[in-house]
């Protein structure tokens, strides 16, 4: 049964409030329950479920990626974008290297050397509908608990 310090493999389909498909998993995803690996609204809905269970849950922005914040536009040097070659297109979602690590942002406008980005998460402000299938549940290893994430299939890979 899904509870704290357990590893969960699951498949998902993610839709917006209008039913438009946003994402789906080809391979099962893994997360460590009780360690904030996934958004709070989804983690809460997972608790107590067992392998083989299927369910759907609607997650409001407050329990998902948060509300959209105004004043979240910033100019960052093009070279701080991770894995981007050339000038990114407006509206594309990219990763930026910051002092606090990498974060996902949306490109507003790109110049020769600087890019204006919106630091809201692309899914901020959205009500999300997940269809979930629990594939497996197991206890986490000591190493996974120490790292705070899942190792192996569907999980974190260390280079
Ligand atoms: Zn690790």
pLDDT score recorded for residue 159? 67
Write down the pLDDT at residue 64.
95
Residue 80's region, left for phi above 0, alpha for psi from -120 to 50, else beta, is alpha
DSSP three-state, residue 61: helix
What pLDDT was estimated at residue 28? 94
C-alpha 57 – ligand 1 centre gap (Å): 29
pLDDT of residue 108: 93
H-assigned helices in the chain: 40-46, 142-147
At residue 40, what are phi and psi to the nearest 5 degrees?
-55, -40
Low-confidence ranges of the chain (pLDDT < 70): 159
Q: Tell me, in angstroms, the distance from the centre of ligand 1 to residue 94's CA.
A: 24
CA 35 to centroid of ligand 1, rounded, Å? 13
* Ligand 1 centroid – CA 157 distance (Å): 7
Phi, psi dihedrals of residue 47, rounded to the nearest 5°: -55, 135
What's the CA-to-centroid distance between 73 and ligand 1, angstroms?
A: 33
Ligand 1 centroid – CA 107 distance (Å)? 30
* 3-state class (DSSP) for residue 56: strand
Nearest alpha carbon to residue 64 among 9, 134, 3, 121? 121
Q: Is 46 helix (H, G, I), strand (E, B) or coil?
A: helix
pLDDT digits (tens, 9 = 90+) for 13-49: 999 999 999 999 989 999 999 999 999 999 999 999 9
Question: pLDDT at position 111, please?
Answer: 92
CA distances in angstroms from 12 to 2, 22, 24, 28, 152, listed in the order given: 16, 11, 6, 8, 19
Question: pTM of this prediction?
Answer: 0.79
Phi, psi (rounded to 5 degrees) for 61: -55, -35
Q: How many A from CA of 97 to the centre of ligand 1? A: 20
Neighbours of ion ligand 1 (CB under 5 A): 147, 156
pLDDT of residue 70: 86
């Amino acid at each position: 049964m899904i509870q704290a310090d357990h590893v969960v493999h699951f498949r998902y389909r993610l839709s917006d409030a209008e039913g438009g498909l946003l994402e789906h998993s080809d391979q099962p995803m893994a997360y460590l329950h009780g360690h904030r690996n996934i958004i709070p609204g989804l983690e809460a809905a997972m608790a107590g479920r067992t392998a083989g269970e299927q369910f759907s849950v609607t997650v409001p922005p407050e329990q998902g990626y948060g509300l959209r914040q105004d004043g979240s536009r910033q100019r960052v040097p093009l070279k701080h974008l991770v894995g981007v070659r050339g000038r990114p297109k407006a509206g594309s979602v990219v990763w930026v290297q910051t002092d606090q690590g990498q974060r996902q942002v949306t490109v507003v406008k790109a110049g020769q050397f600087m890019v204006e980005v919106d630091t809201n998460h692309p899914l901020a402000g959205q009500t999300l509908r997940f269809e979930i299938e629990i594939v497996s549940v197991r206890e986490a290893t000591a190493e996974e608990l120490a790292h705070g994430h899942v190792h192996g299939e569907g999980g974190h890979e260390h280079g």
